[in-house]
Amino acid sequence: MKFLDLAKVYIRSGAGGGGCVSFRREKYIEYGGPDGGDGGGGGTVWAEAVDGLNTLIDFRYQQHFFAKNGQPGMGKQRTGKDGDDIVLRVPVGTEILDEDQETVIADMTELGQRVQLARGGNGGWGNLHFKSATNQAPRRSNPGQDGVERTLWLRLKLIADVGLLGLPNAGKSTFLAATSNARPKIADYPFTTLHPNLGVVGVDNTEFVVADIPGLIEGAHDGRGLGHRFLGHVERCAVLLHLIDGTSETITEDYQTIIGELEAYGGELADRPRITVLNKVDALDEEELASALKELTKACGGNVVMPMSGVAQTNTVEVLRALRAEIDDDRVRQKPAEEQAPWQP
């Protein structure tokens, strides 16, 4: 299934049915009077966050969503049938934006959340509504109210507990593959990952979700490389895992590039808890490792830097435990008892 995190849709609510002008006509009833019924209301367009979806690919093949119109009123005081509603089923974490792509109409962050996007038009009154003591045979009715037509953008921001950050080929996909059942594409060239991947990792009988974000380059907040749209996927993460390629000759510059992009993106992204990891330490000897750690620690302002190798799975468990410590208990899931590791004396 292709990953799609941005989609444009056209919606229109149903128009209300028109009121009816009718008079009772029966044998032996001389003054039947008006009996025109009201029109039915138009259908409403809703958005609902549902389970089992993690992409907007469904909206690639259908962009138009029109609710049904209300049925006109009829004689014998019969009200027209209301138009059927239509529901846009979106993944949890979807933002619904106006046509300008800036105004947020709704943020679907909870399962089962339901938001009204376009209200159906009211049905018109039939001539029975206009009957009075001075106007006992009204010949007027109201037309139904028009529906609402609008263009919207759907933007998906993944709901993950941990977001992986780093330059292309920093080892993010390798780390995800080594710690979860996810199978992202791994290769020795930049921009191997072209769309975010999710993986469930486990440590100490708990599980949490990790998002592998495509590699960022300088200017990503302005749309360079794979663009700033992927930075939105880490906005909802509880903690960020920043991977630095230990074999790079520009470790300090690599670190500053990502930090600069986080700060330029805005919001609270730069202030989010962050674990800094020096990756690919299996390719370094002791002297090179000590030098790289010293350089990166200085660039981090003295904060702790964890050495790791995703390929050799060196210190991956320690990194997972450090991430788990930054995640609130209500966001993690306890492993079922049958999946937990047996007790060791």
For residue 36, say whether it is annotated as part of any ligand binding site.
no
Structure confidence at residue 340 (pLDDT): 54
Q: Which of 239, 302, 304 is nearest to 272 (CA)?
A: 239
Per-residue pLDDT of the chain (345 residues; tens, 9 = 90+): 456 778 999 999 999 999 999 999 888 888 888 999 999 999 999 999 998 887 888 898 899 999 999 999 999 999 999 999 999 999 888 999 999 988 999 999 899 999 999 999 999 999 999 999 899 889 999 999 999 999 999 988 877 788 888 888 788 888 888 888 756 555 444 444 456 677 788 888 888 888 887 656 555 444 444 445 567 777 778 888 899 988 888 888 988 888 887 887 766 777 788 899 999 898 888 898 999 999 999 988 888 899 998 888 888 899 999 998 888 876 766 765 555 544 443
Length of the chain: 345
For residue 138, say whether it is annotated as part of any ligand binding site.
no
Domains of the chain: 1-156 (2.70.210.12), 162-339 (3.40.50.300)
User: For residues 23 and 40, what is the distance between their CA atoms, to the nearest angstrom?
Assistant: 19
User: For residues 157 and 108, what is the distance between their CA atoms, to the nearest angstrom?
Assistant: 10
How far CA 194 is from CA of 4, 230, 239, 280, in Å, comes to 11, 10, 22, 22
For residue 275, say whether it is annotated as part of any ligand binding site.
no
Q: Which of 55, 106, 109, 65 is nearest to 85 (CA)?
A: 65
For residue 39, say whether it is annotated as part of any ligand binding site.
no
For residue 35, say whether it is annotated as part of any ligand binding site.
no
DSSP reduced 3-state for 58: helix
Burial pattern 35-62, b for ≥16 Cβ within 10 A else e, equals: bbbbbbbbbbbbbebeeebbbbeebeee
For residue 166, say whether it is annotated as part of any ligand binding site.
yes
Record the pTM: 0.71
Structure confidence at residue 345 (pLDDT): 36
For residue 170, say whether it is annotated as part of any ligand binding site.
yes
Residues 323/209, Cβ–Cβ less than 8 Å: no
Residue with tokens 């990503």: 220
For residue 173, say whether it is annotated as part of any ligand binding site.
yes
User: For residues 260 and 219, what is the distance between their CA atoms, to the nearest angstrom?
Assistant: 9
For residue 215, say whether it is annotated as part of any ligand binding site.
yes
H or E stretch covering 198: strand 197-203
Adjacency order of strands within the sheet including 94-97: 64-66, 6-12, 149-156, 94-97, 104-108
For residue 91, say whether it is annotated as part of any ligand binding site.
no
**Beta partners for residue 46, in sequence order:** 87, 116
DSSP reduced 3-state for 24: coil
Structure confidence at residue 65 (pLDDT): 96
For residue 298, say whether it is annotated as part of any ligand binding site.
no
For residue 279, say whether it is annotated as part of any ligand binding site.
yes
Structure confidence at residue 269 (pLDDT): 74
For residue 214, say whether it is annotated as part of any ligand binding site.
yes
Structure tokens at 294: 């010293």
